[in-house]
Structure 1
Amino acid sequence: MQVFCTKNHVNNGSNRFCTHCGEPLPLPVGQLVDKRYKIIRQLGQGGFGRTYLAEDKNQANKQCVLKEFAPQVQDPQDLQKAKELFEREAKTLKKLQHPQIPKFHASLQEKLGGKDFFFLVQDYIDGDNYRQLLEQRQSQKQTFSEEEVLTLLEKILPVLAYLHSQDVVHRDISPDNLIWRRSDSLPVLIDFGGVKQLPASQGFWFTQLAVHNTLLGKTGYAPEEQLRQGKVYFSSDLYSLAVTALVLLTGKEPQALYDSYQGIWLWGKEIKVSPKLEAVFKKMLAYQPNARYQNANQVLKDLPTKGATVAAKPQNPQITKLKTMIVAPGGKQTRQVISKIHQKTQLIANKMPLPVWMRPFAVSMLGTSVIVLIVAGSFAAVNAIIRGVSSISLPTLPTVSNPIGKPGNDKPNQQPGRLSQILSRRQQLEIPEAYFIRMVDNLFYAQKPELQRRALTGKSEDAPLRDEWAGIAENLLQKLEQAQLSPAARRKLGSYSQKDFDRWREQAKAGQFGDYTLKELTKDTNTQFDRLFPGKQGERSNLQTYGQIWYAIAADRVSKVQSGN
């Protein structure tokens, strides 16, 4: 069998390196490494080699990550030196014991295709990286809010403090290397760059993959002393973290936020944040390393306080919002009181274990009470409510048997049983909540154009509409179950893009699909999609809705072709 590198050089299937350019070739799906780790799929590639998702046969097929460290050397002395450097880096990773750093399991040396390969084995983190989260936001013309970024900084700076206490500098902090972990909503720092850097300066290690050369950090994210001089300090990581935060806030890459001619960041123009946070960022981004914060704890101390604590992966505000509208007459003082009450009740709502669009149910009763008091002119009572709201501690809302949409189910302290079942099914299928809610919203409002996308309320008159929304949600879940998508394909719903199809085109062109062509992939995917969604052929290209499902079907077909099934 013939295989191709990313430059389309033809190679024998048994080769581990391209005979023309020396590029390491990917390990095939199903390959056993160390007679223990079975390759499931490739996760990515970088300057040192490729990263794979694998199953550990000795640990009940538990998923893990294999990071390839692939030298191309012939001299035994060079190979020995390479191994020493690799083991030194593995030892560094082994000593890192932090819940927000993937646990290191083993380092391996394996001979594959007549060549020596080194691997690091680490925990697999189930979640989306912040690059993917940002792209999801941008597809809906959104970015991260200042409060969300503050939450991220508060959660990740202690990780850097720990890392630096071990005399380790990450060197490569960016949205790609921070993962929002689904299990606890914490950011996890991945892809430590140390093993990529050391051999590059020695001249005996070949780590080039296509156009990706070995780098000490990403251009735009790494400070100049790191990119130009190869020097790193603890403050170099803080610089990269600040750039990452600005990218999440603005949705723009560093090059668009920095005027290289004048050597200044575009504060107030491209970057708009509160004065206190701007001051913190400016110090983190100082040109000279000694002018920056010298450790992560200093940054934590100077971070401005937030009005409310939000999740590291907040819900998208574009989804259906069943708001309780407070409209009352009164003077300036009264409006200020209402504004304060609204802010307080929103803080409570944000802490509730519900989808963001259901939280207003739990505060609608408070809002109604306030209106009554205002109308009655009981200003003192209103102030008492404001004080009381701050101390309210709401328990987890109970599930009741009355389905969503049925009259009489408007009590603000109950979570409808039908909704609970929908959310539970979505969670079991591991379908991203942001995509699922957006998809249902789009389908719902397409059927109800007369609503002009107005927000639904928790009142009884909107019960039939809520019932229709739930019916659409249930039907969508049923269709996704019938599609029999793999968990990986379902988890990526909402993140597929034209880049995926472009990659498949290149893989097919390189012969990685064998005799299977891109035309056949499109035809087979269309057939399955049309069987699931008859009459929706024109929606296949809509990446906001049905297009994501089309791509998920195609992704599974690609995986099956590559695995030989």
Structure 2
Amino acid sequence: MASAAPGVVIAERYRLEAELGDGTQGKLWRASDQLAAEAPIVLRQLGPDQDQPRLQELWAQLRGVLHPQVPRFGEVISRDGDLWLVREWQGGRTYRELIEARRERQLVFGNGEVMLLLRQLLPVLAVLHGQELVHGDLCPANLLRRDRDGLPVLLDFGLTTGLGNDSRAATGATPGYAPPELGRGAPAAAWMDLYSLGVVALVLLSGEEPAGLLDPASLSWRWPSGLALDPPFQAAIERLISADPARRFSSAGNALEAFQQLPMPESTGPVPRADRTVVLVPPPAAASPAQQIQLPQTQPAAAEPTPSPQPVPPVLARSRQQNKEEAVEGRLWPLVVTLALSAVVGISLGWWLLGRSSAPSDTQAEVPLQQLPSSLPPAEVDQRQQLLNRLRALQVNRGWFLKLVDSSLLAQFPERGGRLPGDGLEDAPLRRVWNELAEDWLVRVETLPLSLRSRLGGFSAGDWEAQQQRLAGQGLSPPVLRQLVSGNAQNLLPGRAGKDIPPEPQRQLWYAAAQQTLENLRIESIEVAPEQARIVSARIQAGGARVFPIRVPKGYRLSLGVNGSPLMQMSVYDSNGTQLEPKGPLRRITVERVEDSQVQVLVSNDGVAAASISLTLQVEAPPPEPPPEPRPEPALTEPDAPGLPLVPRTPTAPNQPIRPGGEAEQQPSRPANPPPAPPRPIAPPAPPP
């Protein structure tokens, strides 16, 4: 491998800035593109002794992977026997760095944070596997949380191989995260990346390394003690890391569908470790009498003798020039005093906003002088000032954002009874949690466009009601619209899918998600004639949705089939918003009887690219009503003697005699329809006289 150093220009375009790492797959360099305003990029340098043909062929395949959470891959440069591979630079922190930073604070990733990460990464793996590629080295060091939008980005494709190829090309994978089959010659498969992703989730949740979680004898994973997860969430992670092929997910799309059906936890921030030793909320220690400060008793000073009045010296004569100078100084003093007071007031207001310590109530116990809250350390002041600067740059309402973080902190620590952390050393761990929550919320807010960010804190219920009325006129019922917005607000408000509108200050984010959803919402009415089939095609943008109000004759049966991308989901409602079919993958359904002449089909695209769908509809007449059931015949009695026909059983009359055998004696009765009497003979007419 040829020697390279910072400052060297490759291909008269890329100037090397710093070396990022050196491994079996070559050296990584951070460079700048001289033809693109010195935009940062990444260069991978491969020497002649490395597998250049394989990586050169792989680089051509990676150019076809188009996903916003995968860096774009550029050209391949051959120089002095070395191969230089160009890819896009991504700014952020790796999840390995995040794990180490939280380990120092005895914090780990929360359940909601890990579930959100899985939902954001599985579509990336679905796209990668769709190109018949397997990453082969999925680990926290190769996952980056991007500063720009907070989304996870997949890095380091040096061990990527094709589906079905020999997996021994990935023998340099990070130990503990790759499945045992990887590197033994087993064909590369999509489940191997899902296995590594499950190990990453387990490490983030527990804060432990894979070596401490994997049993070396049985090669089975040990679930950390004290780690409390919802049983469905734990079962889904166990399927990712299962050694049984029958239990594994068949694809990233199936895994994504399973995790999307799980309820999202309310909190998506960090949580304390189960075995932490730092107490975040220490109990207040009562001061002992010996610790109380005894103030010295001051003796009243003796009255000083009143000085005798001194004679006033005569006023000296002043020149006219001195009078002018003093007059000018007298006019400047009010201006100087005003500027000084403004500076003092501004500094005091700034420190009050930065400190945000809760003022003690009148009933609070008197605090000894040693426990009075001290000012924030300079590092925390700088961190808080950077936060305020970012809010100003993003044009986010500062007061609303601080209330948002405060409410999240108090919800996470209800034992504080609504008391915010102060400036003292005992609340330093809580202030770190506050900063973590602020960073997480800011990452979500940054995903909104400027037109919505600037309105946070100013949305009102009237805006939402006006949108509802406008869409109701197009055939969309308010319950369906609310369900759609709640589902799309997952990135901003995880854990609130299908729930009511949250209270303030989280409600502002819900309104912003509603506004963003309505911008990507399209409504297309469909009318189907009886006994006629119809096919409708449509295209849905990434992250968008489409509602199809289908008009059907009342009482008829509707057969509907929806085909499209596996990352799309559908649900069916009636005109009143009652759910007829729950949210799930695209499928074929039948509504046996349409009661109110309209069915609303909601299709959402959860992928990262636009996709097409097709609807096949057929309306059939309702089935005929079944004929009425025949009236039952009267029961027949057994004959008295064999060979006689059965006769209807008649009830026993009250005064009917009983035979010795126990049966009622049958009295002769007149027939119901007696035969008609024979006609009387007619005498012949008499002869005329």
TM-score between both structures, scaled by the size of structure 2:
0.40
Bigger relative contact order (CA 8 A; separation at least 6): 1
**By percentage of residues, which structure has more helix?**
1
TM-score between both structures, scaled by the size of structure 1:
0.48
**By percentage of residues, which structure has more strand?**
2
